[in-house]
Structure 1
Amino acid sequence: MHRVHFLPSATSAAPQPTSSSASANPPTSASYTHTVHHAGNQYFATAEMAEIFRAHAYEIVERGHTELVPLLHHSGVDLLLISPQANFAVVAIEIGHLEAS
């Protein structure tokens, strides 16, 4: 059983930054449309970078391997440890959507 979560979108308010340096200052640019949650941290990434990370991580989990996967995010680059036991999620950030009255 894998404990990997790939969430297509977030329905709640914008994610709150954790105390990690990667998410201490959330980006203000509209180009950072996804959040990668990993090991209690969150990283703001572009849709393209988040999808590259997600695809690579999913492939590693499916093979049952453990590898470091690079993630380019708003604060730089980090290597995130991915394994079948890893808990992580890739989430689209949805902000400013109004419900019809």
Structure 2
Amino acid sequence: MTVYFKGQNKFPKFKKKHAFNQSYSTKETDNNIKFNIESETVQLSKIGKVKVRLSKKHCQVFRKNGFNGKIKEATVSRHSSGCYYISLKVEEVIPLKPKLDLASIWKC
């Protein structure tokens, strides 16, 4: 017989590990999500402008080539530490490299 039923202990309490994570998700419709590279902000419909911190690598690439992708979805999440994070789902068309002509390579 387990100690739970002898009366000295109670049943275990199950706690959720992710109870403090709160999130808000929105899909892109009529350009309601906008990403501004110069001011490093993301414009969301219900929240407004949100400042974004990008890595040095991403800043250099975006300033050099521009932002060519189309934002499909944005998720804003608040963690238990009080920090907010934005996750963007982006669709970008990347040109493929030209196909190699194997017949010309194998000729000796």
Instruction: Provide the TM-score with structure 2 as the length reference.
Output: 0.25
Structure with greater contact order relative to length (CA < 8 Å, sep ≥ 6): 1
Q: Between Structure 1 and Structure 2, whose CA radius of gyration is higher?
A: 2
Instruction: Provide the TM-score with structure 1 as the length reference.
Output: 0.26
